[in-house]
Chains A and B, each alone.
Chain A
Amino acid sequence: MTKQRDIDVQAELAFTRRSFLNTAASGVGGIALASLLQQDGLLAAPAAPNPLAPKSPHFPGKAKNCIFFFMAGAPSQIDLFDPKPKLNELHGQVLPESMTKNVRFAFINKNAKLLGSSRTYKKYGQCGMEFSDLLPHLGSCADDLLMVRSLHSEQFNHHPGQLMMQCGRGTFGLPTMGSWLTYGLGSESQDLPGYVVLSSGVGSSGGATLWQSGFLPSTHAGVLFREQGEPVLNLANPDGLPPELQRASLDTLRDANQQRLELMRDPEIASRIASYELAYRMQSSAPELIDFSSESKATLEAYGVERDDPPNGGRGKSGNTAQSFGRNCLLARRMVERGVRFVNVIYASWDHHGNIDKELPYNAAVVDQPIAALIKDLKERGMLEDTMVVWGSEFGRTPLGQGDGSKSSGRDHHPFAFTMLMAGGGIKGGQVYGESDEFGWGVEDKPVHINDLHATMLHCFGLEHEQLTYRFQGRDFRLTDVGGKVIKDWLA
């Protein structure tokens, strides 16, 4: 049969290519072995395609990558983005009963008093977007930013709320945003995972569930890059084993696996060979990624990777958090440059039940400068057009105070109206969308559900949210659960 002959020829060809890859050593072998094997058709039969190979979207989208700043713990929109003169005026009074009738709270009771904001607000940019005095740097990006003041969620405990924001529903076992994106679009990176997670501060309540792949294959789970030691777990060879012996070991391993493949003809063996080669490339590409020596002094300063930690701190502090967050912002840009699809930058915690006037300025100072630097940097490099930057959390904080109204007061969880920021990747900047009421209690105009946010994000990537589905337990699941509408006003 001609088919058998083809197979032999292709196997031969595949072998030559692999030899090439060996000599080309690490990251230089520009094409992933997986895709080489795939091109060979036979060796990686259709049963085991590379799940991370780039895929076409449903329609051309503007965004290719996303950097999501997940501000876990719920920052106060009232003290950062959404000025409420009326609230300041009525400071110390109780809310009208009509507003609190059918709601429940986590910690405070319905007799809690309104807590005015100690912040001052200023208009920025041509659009005149308002930011509080805590975010002057982000203010300077106003004309590139979309500010949404009308988000709402139905979860008001942290972990379910965080799952809601990451998975579109506040329950366990679902894939996170980054998983859906790599599932829908694959990864452009040959040497790095398609979905990466960075974390600063004390760690989020949700832990690893915030980058899980749920029922999607684990290939789509986020890979946590670590701050100390190796950037990826198990990246370094054992002590005393040099790179040359690592290569020699992998050559032996590949040949032995190859022999088994020829006998068993199971495409999974080809995938295993490919996995080891990608692992090998990651061993050199990941250290290169975190090596900032090629960055200019001006860039390092702009991101604040060597700045002093701001004073105070509280629950937003864990070591020198400002430097850690600055580094993570710069790492995020470098990852996107290298084709990483989704970078989730987590910073916790913003859960200011008390001491908000002391601790919120710290958290704001940690994130303000580096995120603004990132947005400007992306813009200068022409990357902002296809890189979507999102700033958000699981919910916001109450206009009601928690505590006695003194300096040690804080705010409780508030899912009924909160604020997010977006920029780039097909988002129209310089606009404020939606409105909360005069107390910042409920949404007054243009409510946005988290499912709508996800639908619109996917749209920017050229993905139709109702078509990006995965069959599990008899149902076609999607990121937007059973809701979601694309908000056209947001699109550039």
Chain B
Amino acid sequence: MSCRTTFSIVVVAVFGSANWAVAADKIRFATDIQPLFAQRCLECHGPDKQKGGLRLDRLDSLLREQKSGASAVVPGHLDKSEIIRRITSDDPDEVMPSKGEPLGADEIGKLKAWVASGAEFEAHWAYLPLSSGKPPKVGNETWVRNPIDRFILARLENEGIRPSPRADRHILIKRLYYDLIGLPPSPAEVDAFVSDESSDAYAALVKRLLASEHFGERWGRHWLDKGRYADSDGYEKDNPRPNAWYYRSWVLKAVKADMPMDQFAIEQIAGDLLPEAAPRQRLATAFHRQTLTNTEGGADQEEFRNAALFDRTETIGTIWLGLTLSCARCHTHKYDAIPQSDYYRLFAFFNNADETNYDLPLIGSPLEKYKEEKAAIEAELKVIDEEIAEAKTKHGDAFETWQTRLRERLAQENPPAFHDLAEMEVTSDVEGVGFEVEESGEVQVSGANPDGLMVFEVAGKAGTIGEPVTGIRLDVLTDKRLPANGPGRAPNGNFVLNEVELLRGETKLAFGGAKANHSQANFEVSKLIDGNRDKMSGWAVAPQLGKPHHAILNLKEPLEVEAGTPLTVLLVRNYDGEHTVGRFRVRLMTGEDAEAVAPKPIRDLLALKPEERDDKQKEALLDHFLRNVHEETKALFAKRDEAQKKMPKRPSARVRVVAERGSPRTTKILDRGDFLKPTDVEVKPGGLAVLPPIEGREEGKLDRLDFANWLVSEDNPLPPRVLANHLWDKLFGEGLVRTMNDFGVRGERPVHPELLDWLAADYRRLGWSRKKMIETIVTSATYQQASAHREELREIDPTNKLLARQNRFRVEAEIVRDLCLSVSGLLSDKFGGPSVFPPLPAGVAALSYSNNFKWKASEGEKRYRRGLYTFFKRTAPHPNLITFDCPDSNTTNVRRRSSNTPLQALTMMNNEVFVEASQAFAKRMLEMDAASDNHRMRQALRFCIGREPGNTETARFVDLLEKCRAYYQAHPESAPKLVGNYQPEGVGAPEAAAWVAAARTALNLDEFITRE
């Protein structure tokens, strides 16, 4: 107090005016001095740079004697304080600030008053522990509904302002519906609420809406803005992420179930590290995977890995800490006390989390379906197994006979040999194909190579072989003259061969099996002999190109030939794009490949004497016989295989999550945030110096879970303040701290800091319950005020910081559409699930990269799902969303702006979705009972505005209706076009069209899309 007194004397003495003395009493560092320093001084005298060794965000530096011998501030002594001398100096080399305009008279006055009054210094408000101030006393106790109102009213009473009256009940119910579930109340719901005289009608309505599934959608979407949720990768390729929606569903369900905000944070940041993490806790970490992915050719993955880490670090900084950490990525923060090393300490937590995929076990209906299908197939298998078991006892001596015969056959030992055809000639049915038959028997193909069917005919005679032909061998060979060395003629060296046939004279011979050293996936060698010449039924060899390959085709029955027997091999190709064999050799095969007679394990078993075989071996041999040889049982095994193939897999979805690395990465500070320029300074995971330290679960080791626990711990004052501010913003259209993403020294100081702290503390007291916190706010008298602007406040409080009224604001992009679909009766009320594709104007998706994505408009109910389910492609988002300020989801967004543009007007008037809503709305209105046009119109308007419309309003709309009616009666040919698919029964098209035009106008009312 003595200081204050001295100060008054000093000031009066120095200025000879009482004005400053009056102001000086109110000078506070936090509200008057710190913002001025932040605005004009900290860039050069702050945490990052300290010109002349001085930093103005530290008391010790302010008071310290500098090299010049002067101190910046000597409390109580204007004449000795260098800062005062410099800001008032006439010398251009001396005057501060050195950049920009000199300080204004009132700024200088404030600084002088502050120094004179003793230079009281406070730490920045946002880093201090929550204050535990009691709600203040107020004059008008009757206005107060809960403690929030005391803070608001005390300030208003101090300023001599009366709060606004409670809003009309019609507005209150509309406000609650819009705010809590994002849907309009029906006229019946409005009537019920308005006529409910019970004292808890309002509270009951709040409870009902909070319990609604739609609350999860409404407030889940708010969170998804922060989580920068989207359905595609971003960057050039912007590939779709078809399973991204599992994270969205996780958020919606968590919000619906009112998961406490601390748990909500922990699971998203480090759900994978929780002890015995549940599948859905691992899924929650998909939060980190909402970062962009660059799959552009030639992109350096390390660069974009770092970009994602920056985003993770900064997103958390914005969402939970309200700090602009991004500044400290490149250099120590210019204004806030966040050194660059602090940034990389946080960064280090995420540097140790790797991106990974996780097969999320599905629950609910997919799981039920799986169980049903599995049981059905198990039952089927059981029946077959019984049949097999029975067959095993009934094979008689066939088993023994087979063993004997097979042993004999193997004993003959006739290894395969290959023989070229004599007098071989190669021709084609396509003109211009050249064949060069070389001495070696190899054939080089050249010349014409058209698309479609082409047959190579290899004709010749059998030489002197002396034993039966058992099959043919086809070699496909490489050659330098072929593209990529062949063996095919396609640019990559591949070929497709669809069918191979062997003819003796004119008789086609049957093949029994085919083998190759290699086959391309889906182009198996067996397709060469399946009798199918279709394009996709053929043999090919990618990716094993530039290498020779061969196929062996076994005849079903050995073929007796003599020298000179005419034989022809047909190579049938039915494919496009120059996929033709470029070099080949065809030979006859004699003898038998033991492997073709019986596989090695079976041959080994046969070699044993029956008495030497153990039970398992006996079983194996019998099994082989019954499965592959014995005609009576082969079908049974085939049936079993078929059934087994149908056995479903346990349903799961591959989702993008993160997982902790086994071996931690070393994190180094990056010079100016450049991943190519790591400095020598290594940092360990850790917290911010301005906040309480992080304590780990294990001594000397910190991981993401420790970080998450710390974030929402009792000691950390920022998250409850920041999160309470987010709620306030959604319910008042502005936060108590209006710079929602900047609680730092350059951010705006809250007008009601004590209220913010009370809310923050209450949030924790309520067990971090989002619903209870919202309930507290919306049941306050402050929230329930009317939102009409008040002339007398326009100059005193132009942006309504004192909250002497509620605010009016347009609803968000998704909700604009939801409202229209809802009143028209089209809106689907399905909750959760995959993204949908409502109609998109042609050409929008085509504008992004390479048309890599087709927007196929959804059918049926999916056209009418709520807006938050619309597929969000980052480089080509749905224009109806973007036009109404839906964020682009490339970075976190804690506050949407609300613009007001002609494109919005065009969208609501003319866009397909909104026109359809008008048509359906008109039909719905025409199908209701009404005594007159006027009556019907009143009903229609009530759907949009809740309240009863005024007489002139209704009359104005009826005027429009009549004008439209006259037009469509005169132009009946136009009417069906406007009515579209929504022609009500028993009404003429002109009448219906007139109502569509009127309904369309009603849906465009400002009041309809404004939360009042």
Contact = CB atoms under 8 A, between A and B. Distances in A.
Interface of A: 3-4, 7, 45-48, 104-107, 156-160, 172-173, 193, 199, 202-209, 212, 217-219, 221, 223-224, 226-229, 232-242, 244-246, 248-249, 251-253, 255-257, 259-260, 263-269, 271-273, 275-276, 278-280, 282-283, 412-413, 473-475
Nearest to B979: A240
Contacts of A158: 236, 296
Contacts of B875: 205-209
Given A199-B847, A266-B789, A275 B236 contact: no
B1006 interface: yes
Given A7-B791, A245-B997, A256-B956, A217 B798 contact: no
Contacts of B260: none
B953 A256 contact: yes
Interface in B702-750: 739, 741-742, 744, 746-747
Contacts of A106: 297-299
B464 interface: no
A243 B214 CA distance: 39
Nearest to A226: B843
Given A271-B900, A474-B747, A248 B963 contact: yes
B978 A239 contact: yes
Contacts of A205: 235-236, 296, 848-849, 875
Given A157-B235, A228-B842, 18 more contacts: A106-B299, A172-B888, A193-B903, A209-B874, A209-B890, A212-B888, A234-B906, A234-B909, A238-B915, A240-B976, A242-B967, A249-B997, A256-B957, A256-B1007, A259-B952, A265-B788, A279-B906, A474-B335
B902 A474 contact: no
Contact of A248 (B788, B918, B950, B960): B960
28 contacts: A48-B900, A158-B236, A158-B296, A203-B848, A207-B238, A208-B877, A208-B882, A212-B888, A218-B883, A219-B900, A226-B843, A234-B841, A234-B906, A234-B910, A235-B906, A235-B910, A240-B976, A248-B964, A249-B1000, A253-B1005, A263-B788, A264-B808, A278-B905, A283-B906, A474-B324, A474-B739, A474-B742, A475-B746
B847 A207 contact: yes
A173 B918 CA distance: 35
Listed residue (A156, A199, A241, A266) with the most chain B CB atoms within 10 angstroms of its CB: A241
A238 B957 contact: no
Contacts of A278: 902, 905
A268 B335 contact: no
A253 B1004 contact: yes
Closest 10 CB pairs of A and B: A106-B298, A240-B977, A207-B875, A240-B978, A279-B905, A172-B890, A205-B236, A207-B848, A279-B902, A265-B789
B828 interface: no
B956 A252 contact: yes
Interface string B784-805: 0001111100100011000000
Listed residue (B234, B235, B904, B1000) with the most chain A CB atoms within 10 angstroms of its CB: B235
Contacts of B902: 193, 275-276, 278-279, 282
A49 to B, nearest CB: 12
Nearest to A47: B798
A413 to B, nearest CB: 7
A252 B808 CA distance: 22
A257 B1001 CA distance: 11
Nearest to B789: A265
Given A158-B296, A264-B789, A279 B909 contact: yes
B502 interface: no
B298 A105 contact: yes
B959 interface: yes
Nearest to A271: B900
Query: Mostly helix, strand, loop or mixed at chain B's interface?
Result: loop
Contact of A240 (B235, B327, B874, B974): B974
Nearest to B1009: A272
Interface in B926-967: 950, 952-953, 956-957, 959-960, 963-964, 967
Contacts of B850: 202-203
Contacts of B327: 474-475
B960 A4 contact: no
B162 interface: no
Nearest to B323: A474
B326 A209 contact: no
Contacts of A251: 960
B901 interface: yes
A269 B956 CA distance: 18
A62 to B, nearest CB: 27
Nearest to A156: B298
A264 B1012 contact: yes
B879 A252 contact: no
Interface size class of B (residues with CB under 8 A): 35 or more
Contacts of B238: 207
Interface of B: 234-236, 238, 292, 294, 296-300, 318, 324, 326-327, 335-336, 739, 741-742, 744, 746-747, 787-791, 794, 798-799, 808-810, 841-844, 846-851, 874-877, 879, 882-883, 885, 888, 890-891, 897, 899-907, 909-911, 915, 918, 950, 952-953, 956-957, 959-960, 963-964, 967, 971, 974-980, 993, 997, 1000-1001, 1004-1007, 1010, 1012
Nearest to A267: B789
Contact of B890 (A107, A173, A217): A173
A157 B299 contact: yes
Contacts of B957: 252, 256
Listed residue (A244, A265, A272, A473) with the most chain B CB atoms within 10 angstroms of its CB: A473
Contacts of B791: 3-4, 7, 265
Contacts of A157: 235-236, 294, 296, 298-299
Nearest to B745: A474
A275 B883 CA distance: 13
A272 B1006 contact: yes
A473 B959 contact: no
Nearest to B879: A233
Given A279-B909, A473-B742, A474-B744, A206 B952 contact: no
A275 B794 CA distance: 23
A264 B979 CA distance: 34
Contacts of B235: 157, 159-160, 205
Contacts of A266: 787-789, 808
A107 B848 CA distance: 22
A276 B905 contact: yes
A223 B903 contact: yes
Contacts of A260: 1005-1007
B899 A46 contact: no
B851 A275 contact: no
Contacts of A256: 953, 956-957, 1005, 1007
Given A207-B875, A276-B905, A259 B950 contact: yes
Contact of A218 (B741, B848, B897, B974): B897
Contacts of B1007: 256-257, 260
B891 A249 contact: no
Contacts of A160: 235
Nearest to B318: A473
B324 A475 contact: yes
Given A47-B798, A106-B299, A157-B236, A219 B899 contact: yes
Contacts of B963: 245, 248
B956 A234 contact: no
A232 to B, nearest CB: 7
A241 B876 contact: no
B900 A172 contact: no
Contacts of A267: 789
A275 B238 CA distance: 33
Nearest to B1005: A256
A234 B798 contact: no
Given A172-B890, A265-B788, A473 B910 contact: no
B941 to A, nearest CB: 9
Listed residue (A3, A160, A193, A208) with the most chain B CB atoms within 10 angstroms of its CB: A208
